[in-house]
Chains A and B, each alone.
Chain A
Amino acid sequence: MRLPPRNPVPEPVQGLGPLEQQVMDHVWEVGQPLRVSDVHAAFRTSFAYTTLMTTLDRLYKKGLLGRRKDGRAFLYSARLSREALHRRVARRALDALLGRDPRTARPVLSTLVEAVSDRDRHMLDELERLVAEERRRTDPRKR
């Protein structure tokens, strides 16, 4: 008999809070199981130990982190890659936006295309600013 997984990955519908996002970023970056104390040390104690413990527990309950017992502590690890999580969130949001009626989908899609173009433009502006800044730093004559 196959038992169902104890904590199946649910569709994450709600967005992540700022601290949850930071913790997930850290877990993805490290890429190996972490204790609460590891996360607490990595955040250089800017947050209370109990705050991080609660955040990790919340991420576990949302199905974004898996955990297993290691002595008296839990070891937490990511259940989804960053890319997979973003894809799921985007798919849920798009499904909700597009609906089933093609007439409602059309304006949403054209807005999306505009938003993507704007985002591209902003990204290129930002990258150009960084390049110009670096050029000024390495070549002070171009200030």
Chain B
Amino acid sequence: MRGVLGLSLVLGAFALVNAAASLLALGLARVLRGRAARLDARRRGDLWLGLRLFPAAAALLAAVLVAAAFARHEPKDANETVGPGLLVLAAAGAALTAASLRRVFRAHRATRRFLVERTAGARPLALAGAPTPVLRVTQTVPAVALVGTRRPTLFVAESALSSFTPEELAVVLAHESAHVRARDNLKTLLVLGAAFPGGLGGRIERDWRQAAEEWADERAAGGFADRSLSLASALLKVARLTPTGSLGELLGATTLHRGEGLALRVHRLLAGARSGGGAPAGDGTPSVGRRILLLALASSGAALSLPFLLPALHRALEIVVRVLS
């Protein structure tokens, strides 16, 4: 019974915190959408990614803390039961987790199928400036796709290769390099697995994808008019080769064009070409030193507060169990 109670509390905490944090994220997204449009693509991407991942991260943290408080402070011989309220919450937590796992599993299956189909008959291609190994494939969809998180592979369709000019191919490779540097495939993997109830995070996810593509476009163009125009032209060629919505969700993958936000990207590239503005600053990833400092601060804060936090949390859980029974 102790195990069932503990599991119910963990799942219930996950559901409750996920729902509250999702509402907060949706509210913030609504308030910030107007202001976000004025941010550069990198900051906008960080904002949308943060909001999209926040509910799952907060829920996961809550679940871990509840599990720790329960394991450490719940007496072995306690005979509390799982009430109907807690059962409903636990079921919601289980449903959320199952939905996330199903999404990841489906994408994993689609990616495996994609890799088997594409690598059969594919030919390796030596391209100067390519960020990863490149495979030339006969399938037309997707025309250009970067697949994989740790050691990604770039798949380029023969039809796209034959339609690109050398300048267009160079800037497309630079665009994919920007995705590799920004670790966008890892981010898509996290987004895919991060629970957000009822698919309500879809718009935030689309906004993040759009910002990530725009940032990779900016990095690839580097503020040069001719590169901006070559990328715009390559995007339009790919759009003609790729019917909208023809590609399902893949695990840890980005494609040059997914059928959304194309006009906006081309207009931005045209505006960049007109202004001839300088290269965007930074490479979009915070410095290692700053990350280590943040991580050290967060870990020491957590370590210092746990001896006080866990007993208090356990007392709160006792009240919750009584109220929901």
Contacts and interface: CB of A to CB of B under 8 A. Distances in A.
A138 B229 CA distance: 10
Interface stretch (A46-54, A68-76, A96-104, A124-132): A124-132
A124 B273 contact: no
A31 B36 CA distance: 13
7 A-B pairs closest in CB distance: A138-B225, A127-B266, A31-B34, A131-B232, A135-B229, A128-B236, A131-B233
A134 interface: yes
A120 interface: yes
Interface of A: 31, 120, 123-124, 127-128, 130-131, 134-135, 138-139
Given A134-B270, A138-B273, A127 B226 contact: no
B146 to A, nearest CB: 23
Interface in B69-105: none
Name which of A124, A128, A131, A139 has the most chain B CB atoms within 10 A of its CB. A131
A127 B236 contact: yes
Contacts of A123: 262-263
Given A130-B270, A134-B229, 9 more contacts: A120-B239, A124-B239, A127-B262, A130-B266, A134-B225, A134-B270, A134-B274, A135-B229, A138-B226
Interface string B166-178: 0000000000000
Contacts of A124: 236, 239-240
Contacts, number: 34
Contacts of A120: 239, 244
A104 B244 CA distance: 25
Interface in B245-276: 262-263, 266, 270, 273-274
B213 to A, nearest CB: 15
A124 B244 CA distance: 13
Interface of B: 34, 225-226, 229, 232-233, 236, 239-240, 244, 262-263, 266, 270, 273-274
A137 B314 CA distance: 69
A131 B266 contact: yes
B266 A134 contact: no
9 contacts: A124-B240, A127-B266, A128-B233, A130-B266, A131-B229, A131-B232, A131-B270, A134-B229, A139-B226
A124 B274 CA distance: 20
Nearest to A81: B33
A128 B237 CA distance: 9
B223 to A, nearest CB: 13
Nearest to B235: A127
A98 B236 CA distance: 33
B244 to A, nearest CB: 7
Contacts of B240: 124
Contacts of A134: 225, 229, 270, 273-274
Contacts of B244: 120
